[in-house]
Structure formats: C-alpha cells, structure tokens
Structure 1
Amino acid sequence: MSIQATLAQQSYLLNRTAAAPGPGSPPRADNAIGQAAGGFASALAEAEGTARAAMTGGADPQALVEALAASELAVETAVTIRNKVVEAYQEILRMPV
C-alpha cells in the first residue's frame, strides 16, 4: 500500500466523520476541536509506537515511513488550524468597538 493511498484514506475518513452531523444535536465547535485533538494525539502515539517497533526490529521500514508520514500530516494539520485561529483572533481585534 502506498503512502499516498494511506494518506488519502485517512483524509477521507477524517473529513467524512467531520461532515456527518450527529442525530438530533447540532454540531458544536468544542466537540470538533476535542475530536481533532484526540485524533492528533492518537496519530502521534501510533507513529511513536511504530518507530519504537522499527528500532527493535519489530516493524518493517515501510510501516515506519507510513507512520512518520501520517504524523507529519497530523502536525501540518494542527499548525494550519492554529494559524487559522490566530488569524481569526487578529480579525476580531481589528473590529471597531
């Protein structure tokens, strides 16, 4: 399985989950942020576990590269979200009172 296919599958699953509203309740921003933070933490933990296994010979190099690519994608996503939050905060500060 190629890295591109794995990343595309992960992106699809994350977007599908985020786009599907829960039955009977409107989506809330704090739930989305909590889920994103949980996904970020689990992606990094999985990559760390795979890296440890690769160092001890328990995982093949292909799995290590895939895990590192997934963790890189998670970090880039977190940085993008942070940048958007800072940008929105700056826009709020520029609003006239």
Structure 2
Amino acid sequence: MDIRSLSAAQNYTSARPATLANPDHAGSAKGLRAPFTDFADTLRHSEQMAQSAMVGQADPHALVQALAQTELAVETAVVVRNKVVEAYQEVLRMPV
C-alpha cells in the first residue's frame, strides 16, 4: 500500500465535514447569522406584543406596528428564499 494513499485516507477521516461551521472562521458566520437573528427577534417581538395586547397591556398602535414589521420581514424572507431556489435551479440547468 502506498503511504500517500494511507495518509490521504487518514486526513479524509479526520477532516471536518463540509456542512459543519468552521469555528476558526467566525467572521463570515457573524455576517450571515445577523439577518437570521434579526428575523427571529422581529418575530419574537411581534409575538410578545400580540400576547400583551390580548391581555390589554399593549398599545394597539404598537401592536399594528409590530405586525407590519413582521409582515415585511416574512415577505423579505420569502423573496430571498425564492431567489435562492431560482439560482439553484439555474445551476442545475447548466450543462456539465
């Protein structure tokens, strides 16, 4: 057995899977993670506002504003998802 192939097999088994985040490269992960956390925070704030409005503790104007922000965030997420799906389909249509 060739020593180079043995070394390659050992390196392959010890390598980090491509789907896992790279802990050494946290800078770009923060840039990608921020929109998702903002989206989750918007949804969480709207839900809390709706719950407090049900018991009469929130201003109706603040509730409408929170719901409008949530609607805009969801519409934006849907548009981004659609663009990603379109790009993926375009890559699949490329000849090999």
* Equivalent residue letter for 1:49: Q
Question: Is 2:62 aligned against 1:57?
Answer: no
- TM-score normalised to structure 2 length: 0.68
Structure 1 residue ranges without an equivalent (≥5)? 1-26
Specify which structure has the bigger relative contact order, considering alpha-carbon pairs within 8 angstroms and separated by 6 or more residues.
Answer: 1
Partner of 1:15: none
Against the structure 1 CA distance between its residues 87 and 31, is the aligned structure 2 distance closer, same or farther, given a 3 Å change threshold?
Answer: farther
Structure 2 residue ranges without an equivalent (≥5)? 1-26
3-state DSSP of counterpart to 1:69: helix
Report the structure number with the largest CA radius of gyration. 2
- TM-score normalised to structure 1 length: 0.67
Q: Distance in 2 between matches of 1:86 and 1:92?
A: 10
1:38-88 deviation line (CA, Å, top 9, x unaligned): 111000000000001111111111000000000001100110110010000
* Equivalent residue letter for 2:68: A
Percent sequence identity is 57
